Amino acid sequence: MLLEKIGWGLLSLAIAVLMVATFSSSENKVKQVQLFKQNDISLFNVEKSWNSFANQMNISKRNSNIQDFELVLTKNNKIYSLKFNIIEESTKGFSIYQYSQCLLCETKEERELTIDKEVVDSWSGYSDLITTKDFFRDLELLKSSNVRKNNYDYSLIRSSGLYEETALEGAYYFLEDSSFKPINPPGSNQFYTAFNVQIMGNNFPEGFDSGEDNTKTILLSDYQKKKYE
Q: How confident is the model at residue 216 (pLDDT cuts 50, 70, 90)?
A: very high
Residue 163 φ then ψ, to 5°: -80, 105
Q: What is the pLDDT of residues 34-45, one digit of tens each?
A: 999 999 999 999
Q: Rounded to a whole number, what is the distance in angstroms from the first to the last CA of the chain? A: 75
Q: What does the mean pLDDT of the chain come to?
A: 89
At residue 201, the pLDDT reads 98
CA 205, 209, 212, 217 dihedral sign is: positive
Q: Count the Cβ atoms, other than its own, within 10 Å of residue 112.
A: 13
- Give me the residue spans of the domains in the chain: 41-227
**Residue 5: its pLDDT value, please?**
43
**Reported confidence tier of residue 60, pLDDT bands at 50, 70, 90:** very high
Nearest to 218 by CA among 179, 163, 180: 180
When pLDDT is cut at 50, 70 and 90, the band that residue 28 belongs to is confident
pTM, to two decimals:
0.87
Q: How far apart are CA 174 and CA 123, in angstroms?
A: 29
Average the pLDDT over 86-101 and give the result: 96
